[in-house]
Amino acid sequence: MASLACADNSDSVFEEALHAARNDDWNGLAQAQKRLSDDHPLQAYLEFHRLRAALPDLSPQRVVEYGERYPDSPLPDDIRQHALVAYAKESRWRDVLKVYDRAPRGTELRCYYLRAQWENGDKGVLPQVRELWLSGSSRPSSCDPLFEAARDQGVIGEQEIWERLLLAFDQGATGLMSYLADMQSGADATAGEWLGRLHRDPERLRELPEGIGDERREQLLSAALRRLAYTDTVRARELFEQESANLGLKDPALRERAAERIAWYSTIRGIEENRQWLDGWLANNGSADTLDQRARRSVIEQRWDELPDWVARLPAAARDDSRWQYWLGRAAEENGDDEAARAHWGRAAGQRNFYGFLAAERLGQAPVFSNASPATDDSAPTQPGLARVALLREIDEPQLAWDEWNWMLWHSSEGQRRKLAQHALQQGWYDLVVQASIQARAWNVLAWRFPAAHRDLFVNAARRHDLDPWLSMAVARRESAFYPHARSPVGAQGLMQLMPGTARKVARDAGQTPPDARQVMDPDINVALGTRYLAELLERFNGNRVLALAAYNAGPHRVDDWLAEEEDAVPADVWIESIPFYETREYVQAVLTYRVLFQGLHGNREQLVLLRPDERGTPYSLAMMD
C-alpha cells in the first residue's frame, strides 16, 4: 500500500494542483507540482488532466502507457473513454482501435467503437448494429452513421424499421415514431401512419383501411388494444371480447399480449366491470406479475375467502416468501382458522423483512435478525487504491473516492471484498462499507449493511425535534445509503435526499439562511434539515410514521387525501399494501424495517416495534386507489 506519510503536509498543495489541472491552468499546476513528491499517491490524477487536455492530438500510445503505469486505478478507463470520443470526432478510426481492443460499455461509446471497426473494413459489425437499432428509445447521434451503413447494406430494412416503430409505440416515444415513420414507404408507410393515429386515439382501430396486409393489421390491432387498456380499460376489454376477432386479430400471441395489458390495468385499477372477464382469463393465462397483482387486489378489497386461491397460482418462490405467507395468515385468521394463521405467520417470521417482522408481532415474538459475523481474517487489505481513497476523502473529493472504491470492489475476490468492507467500517467510511457489503453479497452481515453511521449527528438532530434518531437514520439508509454526496435523477441531494426547494423552505421556516447546492451536501446541514422536515411531517400526521414516511417519499399533498373517517377505514397493514405507487409502498416498508434493525443492532433490543398500536388503529382510506 502506498504510504500516507506525505498526506498531512501535501493535502492543500495537491488540492491546489488538482484545481489548476481541472481549469487547464498549466502554469499553476507546474508550480504546485514542484512542492509535491513524485510518488504522491494521487499524481495519476494530475497526469490524467494533462492527457485529457492534450486530446485529440495526444498519441494513442500515451493513453496505452498511462494504463500500464496505473493498472490498479479507474483512471485509465476514464482517459480511454475521453480518447475514444476525441479520436472519433476527428475520424481517427485507427487510433480508436489502438486504445480499445473490445467494445466498451455504454451505447454512445459502443457506437463509436463499432464505427471504427466498420471504417477499418470490418463488415462483421453490422449484426451488432442491428441489435442497437432495435430499441424503443432514441439512440445517441454517434450511432447514426452506423445505422445509415446498415440500411445501405440491407441489414436494416423495412422490417427492422417496423419492429422499432412497435417498440417505440409501447414506450410512448412519439417523437421517435414520427422519425421512423418518415423512413417508410409503400404499405408500411400507411401502417406507420396508422400506428401514430392509434397511439393518439386507439379507438380508431375499427377504421383501419384495406391494403395494409394481414400481418401488419393484426399488429396494429394488438397495439391499439394495449394502448386502449391504458386510456380506457373497460372499453379495451369490450372491444377485445366483442370485436377484435372479427376485425382480424386472430394470432394467438398477439391476442395474448393485448389481453395481458387489459388484465394488468383491470387488476391494478380494481375495475369491477372487468372482473368476471379478468378472473376467467386469468384461470388459464396471465404472467406472474399480473397474478401477483390479482392476489394483491384480494388483499386490498379484503376478500379473504378468495385470496388463498390466487396465491396458490403464484410461483413457488413467491408463495413461500414472507409477504404471501403473512397475507395467507391474515386470510386464515379472518376465515376463523387461527391454527393455520399461526402456521403461516411462523413461516413468515423466519425472514428478515417487513412482513417477517409484521408476522413476528402477530405471534408476539421478537423479530429474527439472522445476524452473521464478518468472519474475516486479521490481515489488512493491501490494495494500493486504499491510500487514494483515504486521501480523496480527506480533501473532500467523495466522487473520486467512490470511483476508486468501486473499481477496487469490481476487481477483487469475494474474500477481498469482505476485508474491504471491514476496513471501511473501522475507518468510519459508512457509505463505502454499505457498498462493499452489496458487492460481497454479505446479506447477513448486518454490521456492514446497517452501520450506526453519523450516530451522534442523527441523535443530536433528533433530540432537537423530539424525534426517534433510529427513524431518521433509517430514512438516510434508504435514501442515500449514507453517501453524503448522493444525487437522485430528479435532483434530491445528500444523506436524506432533500430536494433543493424543500431544503430552502425548511431552512427559511427555521429562520436560517437557505443553503446553496454545496452546503446541502454537508452532512451536518443536510441531516439537520432532513430531520426537521421529517419532524414536520410527523407533526402534520399526528405522529403517524406510516403516513409521514409515505409523505417523505411521495409528497405530503398526496397523503393528505389518504385518510378516512372511521367507517371507511382499512387496517394499517392492508393500507400499506394498497399504496398505489410501488416505490412508496416499498419505501414505507423498508424504512420501518430498517428502523427496527438499527435499534436492535445499536440501541435497546427490548420492545422492538414495527408498527405502534396507534399506527395500527389509525383510520386509513383507500381513496388513494382512485
Mean pLDDT (the chain) is: 93
Weakest-pLDDT range from 160-169, 245-254, 314-323, 565-574: 565-574
> Which DSSP letter does residue 104 get?
P
Torsion of CA 49, 52, 54, 57, to 10 degrees: 160
* pLDDT of 301 strictly over 60: yes
pLDDT value of position 604: 85
Q: In 201-251, where does DSSP find H-type helix?
A: 214-231, 233-242, 244-247
Give residue-wise pLDDT tens across range 184-219.
988 899 999 999 999 999 999 999 998 899 999 999
User: SS3 for 613?
Assistant: helix
Question: How confident is the model over 278-296, as pLDDT tens digits?
Answer: 999 999 999 999 999 999 9
Locate 98 and state its grid cell: 489502438
Out of 44-58, 501-515, 539-553, 566-580, pick the least confident: 566-580
User: What are the φ and ψ backbone dihedral angles of 498, each rounded to 5 degrees?
Assistant: -85, 135
Distance CA 585, CA 246 (A): 42
Q: Which whole number is the average pLDDT over 225-237?
A: 98
- Is it the case that residue 497 has pLDDT exceeding 70? yes
7-142 and 455-625 in the same fold = no
pLDDT band for position 559 (cuts 50, 70, 90): confident
Task: For the chain, give the percent of residues with pLDDT over 70.
Answer: 96
Residue 58 has pLDDT above 90, yes or no: yes
CATH of domain 455-625: 1.10.530.10
Output the pLDDT for position 623.
60
What is the H or E stretch that residue 351 is in?
Answer: none
- Whole-number Å distance between alpha carbons of 287 and 145: 39
Between CA 73 and CA 618 the distance in angstroms is 54
User: Residue 387 pLDDT > 50, yes or no?
Assistant: yes
pTM: 0.92
Residue 618 has pLDDT above 90, yes or no: no
pLDDT value of residue 374: 85
Write out the three cell numbers for 113: 467503437
473-482 average pLDDT score: 97
Range 404-419 average pLDDT: 94
Pairwise CA distance, residues 508 & 502, whole Å: 10
Overall average pLDDT of the 219-243 stretch:
98
Which range (233-242, 473-482, 586-595, 611-620) has the least confidence? 611-620
Per-residue pLDDT, averaged over 449-475, amounts to: 96
Tally the residues of the chain: 626
Residue 6 neighbours by CB under 8 Å, 6+ apart: 37, 40, 41
Asked if residue 535 lies in contact with residue 465, where contact means CB atoms within 8 angstroms, the answer is yes
User: CATH: 3.90.1200.10, 1.20.5.440, 2.60.120.10, 1.25.20.10. Which one for 7-142?
Assistant: 1.25.20.10
Q: What is the mean pLDDT of residues 240-253?
A: 96
Range with the poorest average pLDDT among 154-168, 209-223, 244-258, 564-578: 564-578
Residue ranges per structural domain of the chain:
7-142, 157-286, 385-409+419-449, 455-625
Which residues are the active-site residues? 479
Q: Which amino acid is at 50?
A: R
Q: pLDDT by residue (tens digit) across 371-386?
A: 998 876 777 888 889 9
In terms of phi and psi (left: phi > 0; alpha: psi -120 to 50; beta: otherwise), the region of 211 is: left
- What tens digit of pLDDT does each residue of 79-123 get? 999 999 999 999 999 999 999 989 999 999 999 999 999 999 998
Asked whether residue 10 carries a pLDDT value surpassing 90, the answer given is no
425-451, pLDDT tens digit by residue?
999 999 999 999 999 999 999 999 999
Percent of the chain residues past pLDDT 90, beyond the cut: 86
State how far the Cα of 18 lies from the Cα of 21, in Å rounded to an integer.
5
- Give, in order, the Cα–Cα distances in Å from 116 to each of 79, 94, 100, 121, 138: 18, 7, 10, 9, 21
Q: How confident is the model at residue 626 (pLDDT cuts 50, 70, 90)?
A: very low
Q: Could you read off the pLDDT of 308-360 as tens digits, one per residue?
A: 999 999 999 999 999 999 999 999 999 999 999 999 999 999 999 999 999 99
Least confident of 127-136, 273-282, 356-365, 382-391: 382-391
Cis peptide before 56 (omega within 30 of 0): yes
The confidence band for 68, taking pLDDT boundaries of 50, 70 and 90, is very high
